[in-house]
Amino acid sequence: MYQILKAEKLADKIYLMVVEAPRVARACEPGEFVIVKIDEEGERIPLTICDFDREKGTITIVFQTVGASTQKMSSLKKGDFFRDFVGPLGNPSEFVHEDPEDLKKKKYLFVAGGVGAAPVYPQVKWLKEHGIDADVIVGSKTKDMLILKEEMEKAAGQLYIATDDGSFGYKGMVTGLIEELVEKQGKKYDVCVAIGPMIMMKFVCLLTKKLGIPTIVSLNPIMVDGTGMCGACRVTVGDKVKFACVDGPEFDGHLVNFDEAMMRQQIYKTQEGRAMLRLKEGDTHHGGCGQCGGNE
């Protein structure tokens, strides 16, 4: 059992939890993920690691409620327990294995969309701890949906905010802000790391390819089982078939077939909807709505 030491709502449908998991904290690196399970019957949920404290033996996770399981998870409080908390899984970010002196010669740009700020943060923090300043763009729909702003300000060399409605920072999409920095302000970047919704990563990669900036993306959004057995996260990268959970979750964004990946992401939407209906209606759920497939 893994105790929740802190439970906080960051924004609408977005939650942060600090979990006591010493073995995971001792071994994890930026870019890796964990699989959590609420109880014996619960769904396995893969979540990228937002932060870790090796001395305290804690892992921080951030998640958004998108289905029945994450909705149940959002009701957990400080002092509650996860049945399972497995990790670290996946592969760490590539720069973890590079010489910090070589990294100092590169200029990194991180682009985080929505909850993507959570997996971006430990990477930017790791670089800061090794004497490397990286520029960071965080995008959200509105000011109220921004998360980890204060933490990112401390870790980033320069933080830029973009909101769709202009309620904070740059008004528009993160791609527009990238163009502003590179084409109008003359910023030079050697590497871009983009993490967020699949559609955001796709358009960031289309832009950075045009700008000649190598780009890394995280395909955590399409993971389901997290072990490679279910095949849900199978994706084509270049001319090779990869599995996001065991070969990634980070890949060369210019080689990822995003259209294929987004089609695969839709496969489980019907099942998620059915599970949410059962959660909301409980014992009153009889399947007569014609939308949920009955009691299947």
- Domain of residue 289 covers 269-296
Q: What is the spatial distance between Cα 247 and Cα 89, in angstroms, rounded to a whole number?
A: 10
Picking from 89, 113, 129, the residue at the C-terminal end of a domain is: 89
- With CA atoms as reference, report the closest residue to 31 among 98, 93, 88: 93
Any domain includes 94:
no
The CA distance from 194 to 215, in Å, is 7
Shared domain for 126 and 251, answered yes or no, is yes
Is 96 part of any domain? no
Q: Write the pLDDT tens digit of every residue in 29-40.
A: 999 999 999 988
Q: What average pLDDT does the structure give for the chain? A: 87
Instruction: Express each pLDDT in 100-137 by its tens digit.
Output: 999 999 999 999 999 999 999 999 999 999 999 999 99
In a shared domain, residues 113 and 259? yes
Residues 167 and 196 both lie in one domain: yes
Determine which of 14-23, 163-172, 203-212, 223-232 has the lowest per-residue pLDDT on average. Answer: 223-232
pTM of the model: 0.85
pLDDT of residue 147: 94
Q: Inform me whether the pLDDT recorded for 292 exceeds 60.
A: no
Task: Give the pLDDT confidence of 62-109 residue by residue, as tens digits.
Answer: 999 988 888 999 999 999 999 999 999 989 999 999 999 999 999 999
Question: 62: which strand partners?
Answer: 16
CA distances from 41 to 44, 69, 114 (A): 9, 11, 29
Domain endpoint, select from 30, 59, 89:
89
Residues 70/63, Cβ–Cβ less than 8 Å: yes
* Mean pLDDT of all residues in 271-293: 49
Does any domain span residue 196?
yes
Domain co-membership, 214 together with 296: no
181-205: pLDDT as tens digits: 999 999 999 999 999 999 999 999 9
Q: Are residues 76 and 24 in the same domain?
A: yes
Residue 23 scores a pLDDT above 60:
yes
* CA 255 – CA 233 distance, rounded (Å): 16
**Whether residue 130 is found in the same domain as residue 217:** yes
Both 17 and 128 in a single domain?
Answer: no
Residue 95 lies in a domain: no
pLDDT of 261 reads: 83
Which of 46, 99, 20 is CA-nearest to residue 249?
46
Q: Taking residues 166-185, what's their average pLDDT? A: 94
* 160 phi, psi to nearest 5 deg: -120, 140
Task: Flag whether 9 is in a domain.
Answer: yes
Give the residue carrying structure tokens 């395909």: 219
The rounded Cα 259 to chain-centroid distance in angstroms is: 19
Same domain, 157 and 282: no
Clarify whether residues 25 and 151 are in a common domain: no
DSSP letters, 143-178, are GGG--SHHHHHHH-SEEEEEETTSSSSEES-HHHHH
- For residues 132 and 21, membership in a common domain is answered with no
User: What percent of the chain has a predicted confidence (pLDDT) above 90?
Assistant: 69
CATH of the domain at 74: 2.40.30.10
Residue 74 phi, psi dihedral angles, 5° rounding:
-65, -20
CA distances to 128, 153, 154 from 131, rounded to whole Å, are 5, 15, 13
Nearest to 177 by CA among 119, 112, 125, 252: 112
Task: Return the CATH number at 215.
Answer: 3.40.50.80
Give yes or no for residue 276 having a pLDDT over 50. no
Q: Specify the number of domains making up the chain.
A: 3
Same domain, 216 and 81: no
Q: Which residues pair with 160 in a beta bridge?
A: 137
Q: By C-alpha distance, which of 152, 119, 151 is closest to 136?
A: 152
* 109 and 81 fall within a common domain: no
